[in-house]
Amino acid sequence: MTFTLLAVVLYAIATAMLVRSLSRGIAEPTSWTAPAVLALLAHAGFHVAAWREANGLDLHFFAALSLVGLGMAALTTLFGAAGRMAALGVVVFPMAALSLLGYAGYGHVRPEGLDWRLQLHAWCALLAYATLAIAAILASMLWAQERALRRRRFHGWLRALPPLTELELLLFRTIGVGFILLTATLLTGVLFVENLLQQQLVQKTVLSVLSWLLFGGLLLGRWRYGWRGTTAVRWTLSAMALLVLAFFGSKFALEVVLPHAS
């Protein structure tokens, strides 16, 4: 619990300092990145301690959710420290803290014996989900910014976001990286996961492939037809919704709902 409380407090401090900086129209990396980095270390430390205690990699629903939250917070810190979209932290840091609290509250689950190939598949999946979740948040911010500008409601929070063109460019770059990771996830799944029907992975695989097709179609449309704005937002959020259902929807049903129902 020491790691948990420390990480949550540090996430809260980083968020508060970031909100204060953004309210002034400034997001100095030195003001909030230090507590953010320490929060990441404490968050990661909790998982490392859990793996040592369980003598294996815990990828149960809440553990996986916490790892995705950790990945999102790490990417946000990198983006923000580089001067790109520090405002992401206002959303992502509380999400990371809540995901860690959920894992700590539920407790560790005895890990399954996974060889290096399945572990590689799992890590690719977690990195893909974290990256594309960041893309979904960026898409939501892009939609909100366009909507406010169309209605000529120039809210103060708009100053915390980069111009539309820069935000859109960051969105597609993030989707590009996430698409590569999702491709690696599907390829390692095909190569290393056996007995697809027996392992109850059909629904997860189908939804993941549909999400991959949507993300790929969006990138193709951007390259070929110059898709942007509302079209990009709709495709991104639709693809991410399928991906959430594929991974966390199935894991929640199989690992949380069904065991308690029985």
What's the average pLDDT block by block, 10 residues per block, for the chain (262 residues)?
Answer: 90 91 64 92 93 80 93 91 79 96 83 76 93 95 84 67 85 96 92 64 85 97 90 95 86 64 52
The reported pLDDT for the residue numbered 163 is: 79
Q: Where are the domains of the chain?
A: 1-113, 116-262
Beta carbons of 83 and 90 less than 8 angstroms apart: no
> Helices (H) and strands (E) in the chain — how many of each?
10, 0
Print burial letters for 98-128: b (CB count within 10 Å at least 16), e (below 16): ebbbebbeeebbebeeeeeebebbbbbbbbb
For the entire predicted model, the pTM comes to: 0.91
Rounded distance between C-alpha atoms, residue 83 and residue 60, angstroms:
35
Calculated CA dihedral for residues 237, 241, 243, 247, nearest 10 degrees: 150
The reported pLDDT for the residue numbered 247 is: 82
> 58: phi > 0 → left, psi -120 to 50 → alpha, else beta; which?
beta
